[in-house]
Amino acid sequence: MMSTNHLVIFDTTLRDGEQSPGASMTKAEKLRIAKALERMKVDVIEAGFAIASPGDFDSVKAIAGSVKDSTVCSLARALDKDIDRAAEALKPAKSARIHTFIATSPIHMKYKLQMEPDQVVEQAVRAVKRARGYTDNVEFSCEDAGRSEIDFLCRIIEAAIDAGAGTINIPDTVGYAIPEQFGDTIRTLIERIPNADKAIFSVHCHNDLGLAVANSLAAVSHGARQVECTINGLGERAGNASLEEIVMAVRTRKDLFCIDTQIETQHIVPTSRLVSTITGFPVQPNKAIVGANAFAHESGIHQDGVLKHRETYEIMRAEDVGWHTNSLVLGKHSGRNAFRTRLQELGHVFETESELNEAFTRFKELADKKHEIFDEDLQALVSAGAGSDIEGKFKLVCMSVASETGVTPVAKLTLEVEGVEHTVSSEGSGPVDAAFRAIESMAESGASLQLYSVNAITSGTDSQGEVTVRLERGGRIVNGVGADTDIVIASAKAYVNALNLISREHTRHHPQGDV
């Protein structure tokens, strides 16, 4: 293994994270997250799986063209067509990586690939060589390494390094590993593979047993020098190792790990919020580092201790990961420049003047309703703006609801459907139910509501409510998000956004689904 005390942080929020049901993102949303990751100084951003769909290809290409300080990576199965497509999408990148993979466990080789081990080695070598034809920066992954035989791993990895792979990734694809055993696997591979010193060993752990971070850290202790992770631990099924936990663990326990990342940790909380807002996946309050309670001391003894000497109960400083106490940032009289600058500090860069102007108009409207505007409001404002930009059939023009004790609530809405305005109304068991029924009476989407959640963005009764609506149709799941100081309006916006997402054409391959 290359001797280094730098831990490469490889973020796969935009690829594995997007494989969470309902977490699919638009190109504009992915670009915003990629820029936030770049600002945080993530070493490698896995921007997507270029061959999955034309939309995925465009997103990888746009990120490759826009990100300059991080390496941009695309996933590719060990197939010529995947590698060629990844290379094409990555052409604009200043620094590009192709990440190719093939399954190596007996169960995957037999049932999924229906290939003999010799054929798998041959295909892996061919893929790495083809990828090297495009870039010097090639990563090879042994899918389901967590359940693969060590002798076979040694054989295929040695061949992949000989073929030119500079990073070897050991995924625990199904979240089966246990820290001690996984750390031991990494150590054994590094010791036994004769050319191991020519590659960086990486890990990619899933969280099915809640051990993704523990397994990744065990691997780091035994020589891994890249960790693949996601913001908020997003990812397939129970998710991946969470970036914020990995980064803060190695930083807080530098005495044990003796290793550094280059992550600028003060951007962690804003980036976590951005990902949560865009995907509609809320962060649980007791989530380490980025949960609302992560630095909140409830018990009197703890509060007293922290006031006397912070380190009595705190091992990290909240401000080091980007927490601040709801600082009042802008108000009604703030100008366009202050608005743009603050959003830039929060990781949102306006691509065009007209985008800035539209967001600034929404900001002024919000400032009329809500006197104190916090960072959280600004982030919701640009996210909701991006949401309403979701090109689609439906647009909410205006709405009213009547809700009174003892009387059935009624919602009346005007919706623009493909440019034509229609007014609809419906009763419901509550104002939100009435609004959704009214929208459905026009849209007739046939989608089923899987989740409705409301989150107050800041404290106080004038807070904006941020609503997530998850719809399912024909096995496809989407999340629509809307924000407003009126939660019924926020709910209607979220529902309309979800409808626009679900009515889009969508054919997409899952990277691990077929070969």
How many chain residues interact with ligand KIV (CB under 6 A)?
11
The 170-189 site mask, x for binding ligand KIV (CB under 6 A), equals: -x-x----------------
At 439, give phi and psi (nearest 5°).
-65, -45
| Widest CA span in the chain | 78
What is the Cα–Cα distance from 75 to 46, expressed in whole angstroms? Answer: 7
Q: Choose the binding region for Zn ion from 14-22, 254-262, 287-295, 321-329 (rule: CB under 5 A).
A: 14-22
- Count the helices and strands in the chain (H runs, E runs): 17, 16
Among 7, 10, 16, 61, binds Zn ion (CB under 5 A): 16
Closest approach of Cβ 216 to Zn ion, in Å? 12
141 scored as a contact of ligand KIV (CB under 6 A): yes
What secondary structure, in 3-state letters, does 150-169 show?
HHHHHHHHHHHHHHCCCEEE
Contact of 322 with 265, CB cutoff 8 Å: yes
Cα→Cα distances 406→400, 402, 411, 430, Å: 19, 12, 16, 11
What is the Cα–Cα distance from 303 to 312, expressed in whole angstroms? Answer: 10
What is the Cα–Cα distance from 433 to 426, expressed in whole angstroms? Answer: 9
Q: Choose the binding region for ligand KIV from 165-173, 289-297, 337-345, 438-446 (rule: CB under 6 A).
A: 165-173
Choose between 18 and 143: whose C-beta lies nearer to ligand KIV. 143
Choose between 16 and 38: whose C-beta lies nearer to Zn ion. 16
What is the Cα–Cα distance from 463 to 370, expressed in whole angstroms? Answer: 8
Task: Enter the tokens of residue 197.
Answer: 């010193």
What is the Cα–Cα distance from 193 to 183, expressed in whole angstroms? Answer: 16
101 scored as a contact of ligand KIV (CB under 6 A): yes
Closest approach of Cβ 500 to ligand KIV, in Å? 29
Q: What is the DSSP string of 435-455?
A: HHHHHHHHH----EEEEEEEE
44 bridge partner residues: 10, 71
56 scored as a contact of ligand KIV (CB under 6 A): no
The 350-379 site mask, x for binding ligand KIV (CB under 6 A), equals: ------------------------------
Contact of 269 with 379, CB cutoff 8 Å: no
Choose between 82 and 143: whose C-beta lies nearer to ligand KIV. 143
Closest approach of Cβ 155 to ligand KIV, in Å? 19
User: Could you give the dihedral angle defined by the CA atoms of residues 308, 310, 312 and 317, in that order, rounded to the nearest 10 degrees?
Assistant: 170
By CB under 6 A, the residues from 187 to 226 that bind ligand KIV are 204, 206
How many chain residues interact with Zn ion (CB under 5 A)?
1
Residue 143 interacts, among Zn ion, ligand KIV, none and using kind-specific CB cut-offs from 5 to 8 Å, with ligand KIV
Contact of 365 with 372, CB cutoff 8 Å: no
144 scored as a contact of Zn ion (CB under 5 A): no
At 264, give phi and psi (nearest 5°).
-90, 100
Dihedral-angle region of residue 59 (phi above 0 means left; psi in -120 to 50 means alpha; beta otherwise): alpha
Q: Choose the binding region for Zn ion from 15-23, 244-252, 318-326, 404-412 (rule: CB under 5 A).
A: 15-23
Tell the burial category of 292 from Cβ atoms under 10 Å away from its Cβ (0-12, 13-18, 19+): middle
Closest approach of Cβ 410 to ligand KIV, in Å? 48
11 scored as a contact of Zn ion (CB under 5 A): no
Q: Choose the binding region for Zn ion from 11-19, 59-67, 460-468, 479-487 (rule: CB under 5 A).
A: 11-19
Closest approach of Cβ 220 to ligand KIV, in Å? 17
Choose between 243 and 469: whose C-beta lies nearer to ligand KIV. 243
By CB under 6 A, the residues from 69 to 98 that bind ligand KIV are 75
Residue 270 interacts, among ligand KIV, Zn ion, none and using kind-specific CB cut-offs from 5 to 8 Å, with none
143 scored as a contact of ligand KIV (CB under 6 A): yes
Cα→Cα distances 216→150, 157, 297, 362, 403, Å: 18, 19, 29, 43, 52
Q: Choose the binding region for ligand KIV from 167-175, 324-332, 344-352, 395-403 (rule: CB under 6 A).
A: 167-175
What is the Cα–Cα distance from 230 to 33, expressed in whole angstroms? Answer: 11
Residue 273 interacts, among Zn ion, ligand KIV, none and using kind-specific CB cut-offs from 5 to 8 Å, with none
Choose between 103 and 502: whose C-beta lies nearer to Zn ion. 103
At 146, give phi and psi (nearest 5°).
-55, -25
18 scored as a contact of ligand KIV (CB under 6 A): no
Choose between 201 and 339: whose C-beta lies nearer to Zn ion. 201
Q: Which positions lie near ligand KIV, rule CB under 6 A? A: 16, 75, 101, 141, 143, 169, 171, 173, 204, 206, 511
Q: Which residues bind Zn ion (CB under 5 A)?
A: 16
